[in-house]
Amino acid sequence: MEKQMREHVHENEILIDRPIAVVHGYVSQPWRWHEWHPASESAAPGHHPLQAGAQFDEVASMQPLAMLPIRMRSHLHWTVLASAPPYLLEMRASSKRIDVHVCYEMDQQAMTRFRRVFRFRVKGWLRFVEHYFLPARMRAQSVLALDNLKRVLEAQP
């Protein structure tokens, strides 16, 4: 019997000085995630705007140890669980190494508040070493992703 997989949760939020529709429109294009998310390498263009039930594939990678130039690549198959433009996008993905659930929540104040809740469970041999490096690397990657998102969107005219 397989050992119960541990779920990790990272919640981050940031204020972005762009209209909410612009923020939602941008983050709901997976084929542009590589422009702001350090783990995303590519995704095939698909339905836009993403609607519940839409599916797409992404290639993502991670450098588990900063001092080593080794990258672990995953082919993720995504399904959109909920989409309520411009306020919500919720998706799940699975690969051989990881199961992911991500939720983007947005609301408009003076700026757009963008909140990302990222849940993941590792599978296979990774679960035996995950506590040594994965949570800290994923947390740092999540912070960098939101900083990049803010920088990229605020640089647009």
User: pTM (2 decimals)?
Assistant: 0.88
What is the reported pLDDT for 6? 82
What is the reported pLDDT for 129? 62
What is the reported pLDDT for 13? 97
Strand ranges for 1-156 from DSSP E: 8-16, 40-43, 55-62, 72-84, 88-94, 98-108, 112-122
Q: Beta partners for 10? A: 118
Helical ranges in the chain per DSSP H: 20-27, 130-155
Q: Which residues of the chain have pLDDT under 70?
A: 1-4, 47, 63-68, 125-135
- Fold (topology level) of 8-155: Alpha-D-Glucose-1,6-Bisphosphate; Chain A, domain 4 (3.30.530)
Cis peptide before 85 (omega within 30 of 0): no
What is the reported pLDDT for 7? 87
What is the reported pLDDT for 132? 58
103-136 pLDDT, tens digit each: 999 999 999 999 999 998 888 755 556 665 666 7
What is the reported pLDDT for 133? 62
